[in-house]
Structure 1
């Protein structure tokens, strides 16, 4: 893929010389706090489910519901971020996220006390953690990605900016794993209280510091981008495969740690936090060191990252103790960290400015779609035979690697102007 030039429409219009400086760092800070809120829950979700009496499949269904909400709302949020502006969208998202997670912490406490149990507990879990928080979180990545696409004007800057979004997600994975794991030593309710505190901090940051765009900077009627648009569907399919593979192991990591290492609930939270910390370290190294310094194009990032992640999946299949388990999860984080900027930056270089919000929403919806089925199926497969969801994840990742090596979109350089016809 060639870098866009001023003679092609592949770049956004450069900001005027006297225009305010882009607030990329501030926006990335908001992404960090949103994902810290999400990741802090991950180390305790498995032991929490068992403490309140929910089955593995019920936790999988809750996560899948959140993914459905991401699919249903991401394109809406992506286009609204261009028509309403970034600030109103993010303020609304953080308000919703904070309120729902305050209520979720209260529900979890009532569940552990035995005041709410059974079907009622499960349904309210789905309402708060699935529908409420899922809808709120869906607004954050499309808003950030559309903004970065607006203010970057060439392939290298675009890849670096999109890598920044992935990097803060990796930092959030590390930070959330540490916060959730360490606080779980004081009881499972402690990390549940920390989540709305983090989200509230993000709300304050956005409300007080983020500058709202002037009217002429916004786009009144952002365009939709079709998932079968030939400029973008190969990237969407590759991303769908990557995150499907991840979905098969992400929700069962706590169960793998507890069952393979024979740990109690409190220790499981701490060790699972360490495992997710390893994945986050891999992602941070990939997106703060490897991606910016390599100068690789989006297709190359997808190929290299896919191969590294596939190696991690293969190692994770075998129950060989703690060290191989941690190495496998580190490799998966490293590989996906390399591949993700290729998935997000690649199609953004091929569409127009008024399509960036729609594309960012479509990318978010595609990612969310992978978690509609994968977590529920993974937990169901885990209940029948523990290695099975890892084997399925490895097979999906292998297909992604074959696809990005074989498809013509990833084997030749094309600018956006050369990407016609747009429909398959």
Structure 2
């Protein structure tokens, strides 16, 4: 694996860890500050809105300013945002500030984290598109997916380890990692000329050939977020578990799913034979199989098998929709399409928690049932829709891939 690919992998991994490292410590920190669950939801949701809004902007800027500068700006922004977020948390815990000022500063800081994080994966995905041809695009995007999956697993794990020292310690790590990643990108990624010298060409997310892959991305990410949000409630209610048993089962299950996702994408990187549609369709079947087990098999072992199938399925779908979206547009639009993929992930993080918890209050089986239907509709649509030939793309000089 060349130094560029290693740098891209590490960059996306750090960005995902930066996103996920907050999640495990937010509830206890919010309660330590004397705030409510509503405040926590507001802080996290507005951060996700910022991600959805800024991802396309960063993607377009990477087309006109260059991939490397945008990645570096993203890491600097992450560092500043985390420092502000950590200082605000510290001041609140020390009773130096409180009330509306505390909530406002936390929202602003979390919003800044959400603004700068998508600069990294959007630019990294576009860079990967620059240095791969059509046959290797899915394999390249599997590298991005594996970095996402590893960050998804390691972010909460890192938070759990450092939280043993103190609840605020994971935030210190969240501020340190972007500086390390900044140095790695600065030293290892070679200078990279902007793809376009003027205004980036407009990209319509609903254009033919692209919209289906963005729909696949929405279905994939909504499935993942739904499992994260309502899984604990569902398993506790179905198996009559204590809160401790629920936490243990959910942690192990999500880790199993993450490992399955990383393994699947690792295999795909080494065997780039399947193309985007095949990856998405096979992945869809496995996700539906996993959600069906969640719905119809009321047993811990069955749930663990479901977690594994779900991880393999999403591990196939993620590089599938990223590669498909990339191949559906021209070389000059790679940054823009990478930004749209990031926006889809942000939108999923906003919609899925609200939708899944509302459905769960109506009937506990509904969230997984709706996920299955959405994935099924997407897969059927992809089956009956003829593949549109992608615009001609030009791959950069091979020296960039080393």
CA distance in 2, matches of 1:54, 1:252: 22
Give the whole-Å Cα distance in 2 for the aligned partners of 1:365 and 1:306: 21
**Secondary structure in 1 matching 2:352:** helix
Deviation at 1:204, TM superposition (A): 2.4
State the TM-score, normalized to the length of structure 1. 0.80
State how far apart, in whole Å, the 2-side matches of 1:198 and 1:261 are: 36
Deviations 1:349-403 (A, max 9, x none): 2322111111111222222222222223334555666554344333333333333
| Residue aligning to 1:77 | 58
CA contact (8 A) 1:69 1:138 kept: no
User: 1:5 corresponds to which residue?
Assistant: none
Question: What residue is the counterpart of 1:32 in the other structure?
Answer: 13
Instruction: Show CA shifts across 1:136-185 (max 9, x none).
Output: 11111210111111111232x11111110001111212222321233333
1:188 aligns with 2:201: no
Q: Provide the residue aligned with 2:22 in structure 1.
A: 41
Q: Quick one: distance in 1 between partners of 2:354 and 2:228?
A: 11
Q: How much has 1:323 moved relative to structure 2?
A: 4.2
In the alignment, which residue of structure 2 is the partner of 1:246? 224
Deviation at 1:318, TM superposition (A): 6.7
Q: How much has 1:328 moved relative to structure 2?
A: 3.0
Q: Tell me, which stretches of 5 or more residues in structure 1 are unaligned?
A: 1-20, 418-424
Partner of 2:352: 374
Cα distance, 1:336 vs. partner? 0.9
1:74-113 correspondence runs (5 A):
74-111=55-92
Which deviates further from its counterpart, 353-362 or 253-262? 253-262
- Indicate the residue corresponding to 1:136 in structure 2: 116
| Deviation string, structure 1 residues 196-222 (Cα, Å, up to 9, x no partner) | 12222112222343332247x664332
Matched, 1:166 2:141: no
Q: Provide the C-alpha distance between the structure 1 equivalents of 2:98 and 2:236, rounded to a whole number of angstroms.
A: 24
Find the aligned partners of 2:197 and 2:332 in 1 and give their Cα distance.
Answer: 7
**Is there any run of 5+ residues in structure 2 with no aligned partner, and where?**
393-402
1:286 and 1:54 map into 2 onto residues whose CA distance is 41
CA shift in 2, pair 1:255/1:43, >3 Å: farther
Q: What RMSD over aligned residues (CA atoms) do the two structures have, in Å?
A: 3.1
Provide the C-alpha distance between the structure 2 equivalents of 1:395 and 1:45, rounded to a whole number of angstroms: 32
Structure 1 residue 22: Cα displacement: 7.3
Moved more, 286-295 or 337-346: 286-295
Q: Is the 8 A contact 2:39 2:103 kept in 1?
A: yes
- Return closer, same or farther for 1:122/1:204 CA change in 2, 3 Å cut-off: same
Residue in 1 aligned with 2:331? 353
Q: How does 1:7-406 map to 2 (within 5 A)?
A: 23-111=4-92, 119-129=100-110, 131-155=111-135, 157-214=136-193, 219-253=197-231, 261-263=241-243, 272-290=250-268, 292-293=270-271, 295-317=273-295, 320=298, 322-382=300-360, 387-406=365-384
Q: What CA distance in whole angstroms lies between the structure 2 residues aligned with 1:316 and 1:53?
A: 36
Q: 1:190 to 1:384 in 2, by over 3 A?
A: farther
> 336-345 or 190-199, which moves further after superposition?
190-199
Equivalent position of 2:389 in the other structure: 414
Q: Distance in 2 between matches of 1:322 and 1:50?
A: 31
CA–CA separation in structure 1 for the residues paired with 2:325 and 2:348? 19
Aligned residues: 389
| Residues 1:381 and 1:347: Cα distance change in structure 2 (over 3 Å) | closer
State the Cα distance separating 1:294 from its structure 2 match: 6.3
8 Å CA contact 1:82–1:220 kept in 2: the answer is no
